[in-house]
């Protein structure tokens, strides 16, 4: 059994779903790519399904297949894939929805020998300059797809650039562009059941009630996309590990690789079996604080692959829980605190939680 545990609170996820639906005034697609942002894909899909969610978004076809394995009736959109006939046929057979983000995909799928309709969502690039058709191509491509009986045009969507801030000029422009495309498509009599564009920031900061659903990623797991506190969202994960050694050391003793820290006085050091292979970026060395026995503790030295050192207190014992991040309402450091110490964002910390970290689900 792993020494490191990520506790995932199903009640927090359910609360976040309820809040995101309330604030956006529309339905919700649960984004569960990258192992559900580190929370465990199968576990989160099960929680969401029981909460009434039947739309899921992922990056890859492989991830979509994993969603289907847990929730066979779910509607799953995969938005990144290569033109591999076998892989795409497998997706079609499983009823997976595919994004169309360039004209080559339309041509490839048109000539694919399949008896089933291919359910697609047209991806429009309104400002990200990543995947997606240009706005000038959007309406014509939608018409081409709608006239081909091989396709079922289920949705049209885009992705927002900087929605973590409200009233952002670029985002406001994207909203206007996408709504104009939506109007043009409808004027042509093209029936598209779902138009969607809002990520977590869009759901929290913009009026997107006229769209079919929001695609909630980071906020589903209780983190505001700005990495700033948001009392309306409940962080769903706590990561902790036990103290496995206590050691008395003298003043002036170097700690860890390259002795980047030295004790300032006679000190008790505690060894915690978590490292950069698990959940803590090495760049957080010397800046990370953790929670032990109701107190914040500083770390010593460089974070190693499998372990780090903290300054222990008199009451600490072997086996005591060391919380790397958790619930701020209980005083715990947050994943955003860890991300800040590491010079990154909460998204990256969460998705890099390693395979040695066991997930335990609470309040199912």
Residues assigned a catalytic role: 33, 257
Name the nearest CA neighbour of 34 among 70, 75, 8, 62: 62
Please list the alpha-helical segments (H only) found in the chain.
10-24, 33-37, 41-50, 61-70, 85-93, 103-110, 135-146, 169-187, 200-205, 335-342, 346-351
Q: How many CA atoms lie within 13 A of 103 on its CB side?
A: 10
Burial class for 208, CB neighbours closer than 10 Å (0-12, 13-18, 19+): buried
Strand partners, 213: 27
Q: Is 343 left (phi over 0), alpha (psi -120 to 50) or beta?
A: left
Measured CA to CA, the distance from residue 112 to residue 243 in angstroms comes to 57
Measured CA to CA, the distance from residue 318 to residue 272 in angstroms comes to 10
Measured CA to CA, the distance from residue 288 to residue 310 in angstroms comes to 10
């Amino acid at each position: 059994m792993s020494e490191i545990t990520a506790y995932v609170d199903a009640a927090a996820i359910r609360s976040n779903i309820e809040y995101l639906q309330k604030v956006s005034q529309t339905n919700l697609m649960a984004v569960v790519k990258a192992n559900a942002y580190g929370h465990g894909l199968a576990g989160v899909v099960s929680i969401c399904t029981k909460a009434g969610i039947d739309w899921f978004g992922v990056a890859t076809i492989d991830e979509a297949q994993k969603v289907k394995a847990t929730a066979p009736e779910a509607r799953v959109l995969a938005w990144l894939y290569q033109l591999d006939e076998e892989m795409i046929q497998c997706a079609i057979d499983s009823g997976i929805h595919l994004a169309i983000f360039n004209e080559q995909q339309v041509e490839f799928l048109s000539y694919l020998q399949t008896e089933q309709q291919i359910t697609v969502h047209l991806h429009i690039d309104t400002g990200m300059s990543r995947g997606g058709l240009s706005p000038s191509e959007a309406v014509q491509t939608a018409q081409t797809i709608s006239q081909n009986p091989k396709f079922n045009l289920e949705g049209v969507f885009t992705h927002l650039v900087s929605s973590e801030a409200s009233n952002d000029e670029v985002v406001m422009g994207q909203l206007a562009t996408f709504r104009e495309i939506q109007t043009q498509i409808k004027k042509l009599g093209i029936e598209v059941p779902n138009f969607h564009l809002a990520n977590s920031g869009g759901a929290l900061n913009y009026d997107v009630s006229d769209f079919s659903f929001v695609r909630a990623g980071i906020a589903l797991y209780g983190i505001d996309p700005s990495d700033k506190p948001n009392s309306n969202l409940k962080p769903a994960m706590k990561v902790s590990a036990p103290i496995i050694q206590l050691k008395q050391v003298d003043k002036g003793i170097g700690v860890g690789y390259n002795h980047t820290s030295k004790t300032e006085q006679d000190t008790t050091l505690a060894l915690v079996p978590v490292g950069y292979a698990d959940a803590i970026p090495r760049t957080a060395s010397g800046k990370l604080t953790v929670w032990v026995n109701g107190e914040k503790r500083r770390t010593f030295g460089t974070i190693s692959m499998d372990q780090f050192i903290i300054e222990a207190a008199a009451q600490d014992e072997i086996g005591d829980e060391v919380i790397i991040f958790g619930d701020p309402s209980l005083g715990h450091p947050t994943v955003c605190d860890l991300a800040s110490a590491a010079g990154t964002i909460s998204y990256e910390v969460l998705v890099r939680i390693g395979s040695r970290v066991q997930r335990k689900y609470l309040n199912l």
